[in-house]
Amino acid sequence: MKWKQLVIPTVASAILLSGCSMKIPMGEEESTPTGEETAAEGVTQAIEARDSYYQMVIPFKPAAARGLAQRQVSSSLELEEVELGLMRHSTDAFDPDKFAYQEGQLLDASDVFRLLGRKDKSPDEELTPLNPAYADGKAEVSDDKFVEANKKSPLYLASIVEQDYMTKGDNGYQLAGVSFALILNREYVFQAPNYGPTYTVKLDTKKVIAEGERMANELVAQLRKREDFKDLDVNIALYMKSTQGSPTPGNYIKSAFVGSDNEVTSGDWQAIDEKYYYFPSKTATNDVREDAQKFSLFSDRIADVFPDFSGMIGKGFYQNGDLTRLEIDIPIQFYSRAELVGFTQHVVGLLENRWEYNRNVPVRINVTSLGGDPEVTIVYEDGMDSPKVYF
């Protein structure tokens, strides 16, 4: 079987569609080599993605627990942040210049299900559940006691994501390191038996973090007993899910590079200061007032010229208190191609000449129809002479 050499991103948002020609600088199309190569093991070309630029080992292998995390998080936006954020927090442990990426192959769905359960007394099992048992020390409870028991003993761990990092040896690519994300509940949502009502238990943040650290240590200790984990370097990160109905995803709060050790010590943990804000919002106005005002000013300058403009939504990513990435969605109805071009030219002009944010902050503007169909994407990043436009 023959394979064409392909440029494959390790993240979904790495490549934008190229546009047609006009007097606005356009993004260039990715060229695909015409030569063919065999399906021997190799890696994709390196692509600088939003957060990291790992090469991916090919042929592609789906994760052994594929799809499991998707069922445990509330949205695709949350899942994206879990996966891309874990890549971002793996780069210090596994240098992208030396390691290639592969989806997790060591923990399958049954392993993860087992780890997500409540502690029980099954010594014959290879893996021990990480979530706490009920107050009586058992993993199960009768239906009539289910609600009160779950209120008193919530589940802290929602899911686990594994990413593998490979190095090239004489016999091809070998597994050298693994990163785990422990996805923690900010609130515990459960349903009573027999399709009963749904309950939400607000969790204490300090308690959740403490439980996350405990579970991370227990996970590493358990996996070290397995032959396939015996000599691997391990990196682990704690991710706090967003609350139900939140427009923004959750965030990573801590990470630890364990290396080849058998436990995670308190000194291994490094705090992570990351957060998303939506604009406009009361939270953004209260917490990052200056950036919220800049966003409103940019919106007003568009509305001054285009009467059909009805507003826009922004998502800002903050690290250590500083805005490091901004994405803006603009839904608007156009009645001609010329109107779309004129709108695009105006927005590009504002970015070049009246942009209030720091020039080092990359911005992506997605212009869509009112029905959500993409019209144009504008990208402006540090080092660019002018914005790039993709129709």
Residues 147, 86 share a domain: yes
**Which helix H or strand E contains 255, and what residues bound it?**
strand 251-259
Q: Which helix (H) or strand (E) holds 282?
A: helix 282-287
Predicted TM-score (pTM) of the model is: 0.83
- Domain range for 349 is 277-390
pLDDT at 134 over 60: yes
Q: How confident is the model at residue 23 (pLDDT cuts 50, 70, 90)?
A: very low
Spatial separation of the C-alpha atoms in residues 222 and 263, rounded to whole Å: 9
CA distances (Å), origin 237, targets 34, 176, 269, 271, 379: 41, 18, 9, 10, 30
Same structural domain, 71 and 97 = yes
Looking at the structure, tell me whether residues 308 and 193 fall in a common domain. Answer: no
Beta bridge partners of 36: 4
Cα gap 50→153, rounded to integer Å: 38
What is the per-residue pLDDT for 65? 86
DSSP lists the bridge partners of residue 276 as 317
Residue 174 belongs to a domain: yes
The mean pLDDT value for 13-42 works out to 44
- pLDDT at residue 124 in the model: 61
Burial class (CB in 10 A: 0-12, 13-18, 19+), 62: exposed
Last residue of a domain, one of 217, 247, 272: 272
Residue 16 lies in a domain: no
Q: Is the pLDDT reported for residue 15 higher than 50? A: no
Domain boundary among 243, 272, 301: 272
Indicate if the pLDDT at residue 46 is higher than 60.
no
Q: How many domains does the chain have?
A: 2
**Residue 10 covered by a domain:** no
Q: Name the percent of the chain lying above pLDDT 70.
A: 86
Give the model confidence (pLDDT) of 138-186 as tens digits: 899 999 999 999 999 999 999 999 999 999 888 889 999 999 999 999 9
Does the residue 313 lie in any domain?
Answer: yes
Q: Which two tokens stand for residue 139?
A: 């993993």
Query: Which of 272, 304, 338 is the last residue before a domain boundary?
Result: 272
pLDDT of residue 13: 35
Beta pairing, strands 100-103 & 157-169: antiparallel
Q: Please say if the pLDDT value at position 45 is more than 80.
A: no
What value does the mean pLDDT take over residues 20-42? Answer: 46
Give the mean pLDDT of 43-64: 72
Question: What are the structure tokens assigned to 23, written together?
Answer: 């007097």
| 25 domain-assigned | no
Q: Has residue 365 been placed in a domain?
A: yes
Quick one: 148 and 259 in the same domain? yes
User: Looking at the domain assignment, is residue 36 inside a domain?
Assistant: no
Cβ-based neighbours of 103, under 8 Å, separated by 6 or more: 60, 61, 62, 63, 66, 162, 163, 164
Please, what is the average pLDDT of the chain?
86
Whole-number pLDDT of residue 6: 30
Shared domain for 240 and 308, answered yes or no, is no
137 & 249 share domain: yes
Instruction: Clarify whether residues 252 and 348 are in a common domain.
Output: no
Indicate if 183 and 266 belong to the same structural domain. yes
Between 39-48, 67-76, 133-142, 300-309, the lowest mean confidence (pLDDT) is in 39-48
Residue 128 and residue 177 in one domain: yes
Minimum mean pLDDT range among 64-68, 288-292, 368-372: 64-68
d(CA 254, CA 274): 10
174 and 266, same structural domain? yes
- Judgement on whether residues 177 and 281 belong to the same structural domain of the protein: no
Question: What CATH number does the domain containing 331 carry?
Answer: 3.30.300.190
What is the structure's pLDDT at 51?
A: 53
Q: Which is more confident, 48 or 26? A: 48
In a domain, 40, yes or no: no
120 and 210 assigned to the same domain:
yes
Cα–Cα distance, 16 to 27 (Å, whole number): 8
CATH number reported for the structural domain that contains residue 86 in this entry: 3.10.570.10
Nearest of 316, 334, 335 to residue 324 by alpha carbon: 316
- Which range among 25-29, 55-59, 133-137, 348-352 has the greatest average pLDDT? 348-352
The amino acid at residue 272 is: I
| 61-105 pLDDT per residue, tens | 888 888 777 777 778 888 999 999 999 999 999 999 999 999 999
